[in-house]
Structure 1
Amino acid sequence: MHLFGALCLFVTLSTACGLRCYTCTATQPRSCIDTKSCPVIFNRCYSLKFDGYDMVTKGCQTSIACGGAMACCEGDLCNSATLTRPSVVLLLVSSAAIALLNSHSEEGVLIHSAGIQSLCFSQFMMRLYGALILFMILSTACGLKCYTCVSRDPLSCLRKTSCPEPLDRCFSVNVTGYMTKGCRKETNCVKPISCCEEDFCNSAIMLNGPRVALLLVSSAITALFL
């Protein structure tokens, strides 16, 4: 029942995030890093390459409209220039991890059946480990999100994007009066570029504390397992 409940929670959260695709118009494939969450009717990501040019258009599409020169795929951010791991992999990993922990818990029942206190503690620790593993997997499922723009007014930078791998930092830099924000690798964070590692931490207003969404997820998982 605990495994079933954890899987239901994971599927619900994955669905809430929705299908995400790279989106751009007439740009070089590897420079297409903007992402968006697709509306409900769109269930595919697509890429359309221009013949004779190193240019592509990417975005969301319906399965019935896919065909011809339009290449479609189903996983989150699957229309990138490089292959990305679909969210299904996270579901399989989480299921396998929790199933493995449950099997160890059952073995503990046989080994420590003579000691009730030891058995209860073992079950408690196994459930706690399972919750922590699931929490870590869920925390990476939707990826880092950053503000992205080029503007003279930092307060007008409201555009948001989900960072593709391996970009793991949000950055801000002021160049000749223009504030530039977006995603960046930690190794490329050098002065005068200012980097941070929380969701939307490169906003004009400082965001305090850890990610609220992840705190809610961890609370739900803890209540489910303990």
Structure 2
Amino acid sequence: MDLQISVFLLFILFTAGHSLRCYECMSVTGSCAGQTVQTCPSGFSQCESLTGVTKVGDITSKVQAKGCVPVCLSGSINFGLVRTSASCCSTDLCNLQNAPDPSNVPNGKKCYTCDGRSCSYTLSCSGDEDHCITATTTSGGQTTMVKGCVTKSICDATTSVRNVESISCCEGNLCNGAQSVSQSFLFLCCSLLSYFLLH
């Protein structure tokens, strides 16, 4: 009996002090070559790897991010100009590999997207993006709206994005409706992208 108690106490001693470790990096050059190891703070139970691609005209830029997160959602989100994919895991140093580039292979689903003046453009969804998304925020009396394609797992958990008033998702082609807007389109895209990069 004493041996069992001793083994149990040793197990508690060694496991209680163990914190998850994840690779960490933030690169706007598209490469995490200089990634470091981060010991996750209390409450951060998953490692995340994220890849974001922004395309404006002929200019394409890629962002890679890795680190500890309290909640991680694998999947992708596509606003037309900005596409992001994330992969998650929960064991030490499991996020060595970069998240895959967001797919650009159409899957047959279509959603409305915005260009800064109008949300009446059609976007072909890619990869595992199986829902349409609409997000809005108001700043200085001006409403900003983005629309696009999203993976269901991300859509299910986007109820508390900082600086974003409402997020809604739906199934079915073009279910997120077309409408004209007057806003700073890239501001909201960047807010949503930073949420997925930093949370």
Report the TM range for the smaller structure's normalisation: 0.3 to 0.5
TM-score (norm. length: structure 1): 0.31
**Structure in which a larger fraction of residues adopt helix:** 1
Structure with bigger RCO (C-alpha 8 Å, 6+ apart): 2
**Structure in which a larger fraction of residues adopt strand:** 2
